[in-house]
C-alpha cells in the first residue's frame, strides 16, 4: 500500500514546481511558452530578404568524409570528386626479413552501409549509404603515387600557420602524379569498370598446420589489388632510413591520388567515404627468418600496413547547369528585393543569405506591447517542379536530407543549435538535434521533399530582449553532418562570405527553394513565422 503522507509531499512539490514554471514563462519580454501547443493562435508573419551567394574555391582538407566519383545531377549539373591523401606506416622501422616475396597488396576503404537482411546461413545482405546517382553506376578509377608533398602547416616569417588545400587544386595533383596507375589488376571491376559493390565480403584463410579453412565475413568495402613491384621497391626493398620515422617516410612516399573518369558506355555515381578512419594498404609477403643462401630455408608469413592518414584534399570539379550558373552569377543576384529561387549546394557550391529586416522593423512595437514569443520558425519550401526534372535515364536529383542555418556574419551556430534535444530520432541516427530542425519533410504521395523547417525561437527572443543585439545575416547550406559546425576558408573571400560550414563542403547534393521575393506565391514564399502570447 502507498504511504499517504509520501503522496501528499509529492503533490506539494509538484505544485511548487508548476507555479515556478509559470512564473518563469512570463517573467520577461520575448520569453517562451513551452511546447508546440499554440492555443489555435495564428502566427505573425514577416517578410524575409533572401538571395543566392556562390561559394568559390574553398578549403577542403580536414574533412571527416570525402566524395569520390561522378555525380550527374539533372538539375544542378555534374560534380567530379577526386581525392588526395598522405599515407603513414602503422609501425615505423619495421623488420622486413630476408628475401621478401610479396603475396598481395590490397587497398581497402570501408563503405557506409547497413544490413537489410540476414540469411539463414548467417550471410548478410547490405545496402550502401551515401551513394548518389544510379546504383549501377560505374567509373574509370585510377590510383597513383602522388608527387605533391602535402603538409599540415608551414612557417611564414617564423610563425607556424595551417596549410590549406582547396577544392580547385585537382590540376596540380593530376600534373604531379607519378608513374602508371597502381590498381592495374586485369579485372575491369578494379579500374576501368569500377563500381561501389554492396556485397558482403567473405575472407577465407587456411591454417598452414591443420589445413582447416575458416571464414570471416566483412561489410562492403572498396578493395583494390595494387602493383606488387611498386610496393616491393617502395617498401620492402626501401633503404631502412626511409622507413625510420614519419617525417622521412612522408617525403619518401608522399601519398596517393585517386582520379575518376567516366567509364565507357556506363552511367556514373559518387560515394562519400571515410578514407582516414579505416582506409589502409595491406602488404602480405613471405620472408626468410635468417640471413642465408639456402633456398630451402624456413620462411614465415608477414605483413605491413600503410594507413591512409595525414593531410588530405577533396578535389572537386563542377560543370554547373545553365540555370544554376545564372542563378548564382553575381550580376543576377538581387540583394534588394531578394531572389525568387534559392539555390543551395554542397562542395564548391552555394549558400542562401537570409536577412530578417521585416521583423527588425517591428522590434520596437513588439517590445512596447510586451509580446511573448512561444515559437519562431523559418520554413523553406522546395520548388518541387524544378527539382522534379529527370535526365535521359529517368533519374531524378537526390535531395539533401538536411539543411543547416547559422550566423553567417560571425560564422558560428545560432543559439538554438545548442538548445533542446541533442539525441537522434529512433529510426535515424543521423537525425540529431531534431528540435533545431532542418530535416526534410517528405510528401507521402510523391516521396519527394516538401519543405525544411528550422526553429529559431531563442534567436528571436534575444533580438527582442536585447536592444543592442545585432540582427545578423543568416546563412543556409546543405549539410552532410549537423554535428560539424567548423567553417572552412574560401580561397578568395568576398564582401558577403569568407568561410562556409565544413559540413556543407563534404557532400555534393543541392536543392532549389522558394525565396522571399514578393513575386513568389504566398503559400510558398519564405517568411518568418512567430507565435506570440499577447498580454491583454
- Measured distance CA(348)–CA(376) in Å, rounded: 31
What residues contact residue 203 under an 8 Å CB cut-off, 6+ apart? Answer: 215, 216, 217, 218
In sequence order, the 6+-apart residues with CB closer than 8 A to the CB of 387 are 75, 396, 397, 399, 448, 449, 511, 512
Question: Max Cα separation, the chain?
Answer: 101
Note the pLDDT of residue 292. Answer: 61
Give the bridge partners for 513, in sequence order.
Answer: 342, 382
Cα separation of 382 and 18, whole Å? 41
Rg of the chain (C-alpha set): 28
pLDDT at 431: 82
Query: What whole-number distance in Å separates Cα of residue 112 and Cα of residue 308?
Result: 17
Q: How far apart are CA 469 and CA 29, in angstroms?
A: 15
Residue by residue, DSSP assigns 108-159 as EEEPPEEEEEE-TTS-EEEEESSEES-TT--EEEEEEE------SEEEETTE
φ, ψ for residue 324, nearest 5 deg: -65, -45
Nearest Cα neighbor of 509 from 385, 359, 398 is 398
Whether 533 and 67 have beta carbons less than 8 Å apart is answered as no
Bridge partners (DSSP) listed for residue 44 = 530
pLDDT computed for residue 1 by the predictor: 39
**To 5 degrees, how large is the angle CA 377–CA 379–CA 384?**
170
Q: What is the pLDDT of residue 420?
A: 53
CA distance 66 to 271: 8
Contact call for residues 403 and 417 (beta carbons, < 8 A): no
CA-CA distance, 499 to 511, in Å (whole number)? 20
Q: State residue 259's pLDDT score.
A: 98
**Residue with cell string 608533398:** 149
Q: So what's the pLDDT on residue 357?
A: 95
The whole-number pLDDT of residue 24 equals 37
Q: What is the pLDDT along the chain (536 residues), one digit of tens a residue?
A: 334 443 444 444 444 344 334 333 333 444 444 444 444 478 999 999 999 999 999 999 989 999 999 999 999 999 999 999 999 999 999 999 999 999 999 999 999 999 999 999 999 999 999 999 999 999 999 999 999 999 888 888 888 888 999 999 999 999 999 999 999 999 999 999 999 999 999 998 887 778 788 889 999 999 999 999 999 999 999 999 999 999 999 999 999 999 999 999 999 999 999 999 889 999 999 999 776 666 666 789 999 999 999 999 999 999 999 999 999 999 999 999 999 999 999 999 999 999 999 999 999 999 999 999 999 999 999 999 999 999 999 999 999 999 999 999 999 999 999 875 556 665 676 788 888 999 999 999 999 999 999 999 999 999 999 999 999 999 999 999 999 999 999 999 999 999 999 999 999 999 999 999 999 999 999 999 999 999 87
Beta-carbon contacts of 533 under 8 Å, excluding residues fewer than 6 positions away, are: 33, 41, 371, 372, 374
Identify which of 317, 277, 312 has the alpha carbon closest to the alpha carbon of residue 83: 312
Backbone angles phi, psi at 396, to 5 degrees: -100, 155
DSSP H helical segments within 150-280, as ranges? 170-175, 228-231, 246-252, 275-278
The residue to which cell 610479396 is assigned: 102
**CA 152 to the chain's CA centroid:** 21
Buried b (16+ CB within 10 A) or exposed e, 9-48: eeeeeeeeeeeeeeeeeeeeebbbbeeeeeeeeebbebbb
Q: Which three cell numbers stand for residue 260?
A: 575518376
Amino acid at each position: 500500500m502507498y504511504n499517504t503522507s509520501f503522496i501528499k509531499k509529492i503533490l506539494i512539490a509538484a505544485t511548487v514546481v508548476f507555479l515556478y514554471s509559470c512564473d518563469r514563462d512570463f517573467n520577461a519580454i520575448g520569453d517562451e511558452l513551452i511546447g508546440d501547443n499554440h492555443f489555435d493562435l495564428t502566427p505573425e508573419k514577416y517578410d524575409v530578404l533572401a538571395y543566392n551567394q556562390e561559394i568559390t574555391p574553398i578549403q577542403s582538407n580536414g574533412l571527416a568524409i570525402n566524395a569520390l566519383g561522378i555525380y550527374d545531377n539533372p538539375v544542378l549539373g555534374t560534380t567530379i570528386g577526386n581525392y588526395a591523401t598522405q599515407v603513414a606506416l602503422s609501425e615505423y622501422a619495421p623488420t622486413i626479413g630476408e628475401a621478401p616475396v610479396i603475396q598481395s597488396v590490397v587497398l581497402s576503404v570501408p563503405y557506409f552501409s547497413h544490413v537489410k537482411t540476414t540469411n539463414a546461413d548467417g550471410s548478410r545482405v547490405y545496402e550502401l549509404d551515401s551513394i548518389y546517382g544510379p546504383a549501377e553506376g560505374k567509373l574509370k578509377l585510377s590510383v597513383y603515387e602522388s608527387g605533391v608533398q602535402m603538409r599540415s602547416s608551414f612557417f611564414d616569417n617564423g610563425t607556424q600557420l595551417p596549410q590549406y588545400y582547396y577544392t580547385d587544386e585537382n590540376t596540380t595533383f593530376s600534373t604531379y602524379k607519378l608513374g602508371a596507375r597502381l590498381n592495374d589488376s586485369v579485372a575491369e571491376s578494379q579500374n576501368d569498370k569500377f563500381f561501389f559493390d554492396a556485397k558482403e565480403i567473405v575472407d577465407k584463410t587456411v591454417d598452414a598446420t591443420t589445413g582447416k579453412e575458416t571464414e570471416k565475413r566483412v561489410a562492403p568495402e572498396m578493395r583494390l589489388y595494387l602493383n606488387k613491384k611498386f610496393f616491393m621497391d617502395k617498401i620492402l626493398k626501401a633503404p631502412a632510413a626511409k622507413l625510420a620515422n614519419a617525417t622521412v617516410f612522408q617525403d619518401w612516399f608522399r601519398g596517393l591520388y585517386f582520379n575518376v573518369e567516366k567509364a565507357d558506355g556506363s552511367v556514373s555515381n559518387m560515394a562519400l567515404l571515410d578514407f582516414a578512419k579505416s582506409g589502409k594498404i595491406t602488404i602480405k609477403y613471405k620472408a626468410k627468418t635468417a640471413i642465408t643462401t639456402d633456398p630451402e630455408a624456413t620462411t614465415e608469413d608477414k605483413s605491413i600496413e600503410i594507413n591512409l592518414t595525414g593531410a588530405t584534399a577533396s578535389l572537386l570539379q563542377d560543370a554547373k547547369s545553365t540555370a544554376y550558373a545564372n542563378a548564382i552569377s553575381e550580376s543576377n543576384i538581387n540583394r534588394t528585393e531578394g531572389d525568387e529561387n534559392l539555390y543551395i549546394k554542397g562542395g564548391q557550391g552555394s549558400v542562401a543569405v537570409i536577412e530578417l529586416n521585416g521583423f527588425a522593423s517591428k522590434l520596437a512595437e513588439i517590445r512596447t506591447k510586451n509580446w511573448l514569443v512561444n515559437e519562431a520558425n523559418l520554413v523553406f519550401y522546395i520548388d518541387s517542379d524544378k527539382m522534379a526534372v529527370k535526365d535521359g535515364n529517368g533519374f531524378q536529383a537526390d535531395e539533401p536530407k538536411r539543411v543547416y542555418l547559422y550566423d553567417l556574419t560571425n560564422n558560428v551556430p545560432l543559439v538554438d543549435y545548442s538548445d533542446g534535444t541533442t539525441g537522434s530520432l529512433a529510426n535515424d541516427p543521423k537525425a540529431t538535434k531534431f528540435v533545431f530542425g532542418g530535416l526534410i519533410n517528405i510528401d507521402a504521395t510523391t516521396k519527394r521533399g516538401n519543405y525544411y523547417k528550422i526553429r529559431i525561437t531563442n534567436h528571436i527572443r534575444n533580438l527582442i530582449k536585447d536592444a543592442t543585439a545585432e540582427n545578423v545575416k543568416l546563412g543556409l547550406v546543405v549539410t552532410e553532418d549537423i554535428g560539424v559546425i567548423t567553417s572552412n576558408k574560401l580561397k578568395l573571400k568576398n564582401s558577403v562570405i569568407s568561410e562556409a560550414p565544413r559540413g556543407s563542403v563534404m557532400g555534393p547534393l543541392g536543392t532549389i527553394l522558394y525565396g522571399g521575393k514578393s513575386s513568389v506565391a504566398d503559400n510558398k514564399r519564405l517568411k518568418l513565422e512567430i507565435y506570440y502570447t499577447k498580454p491583454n
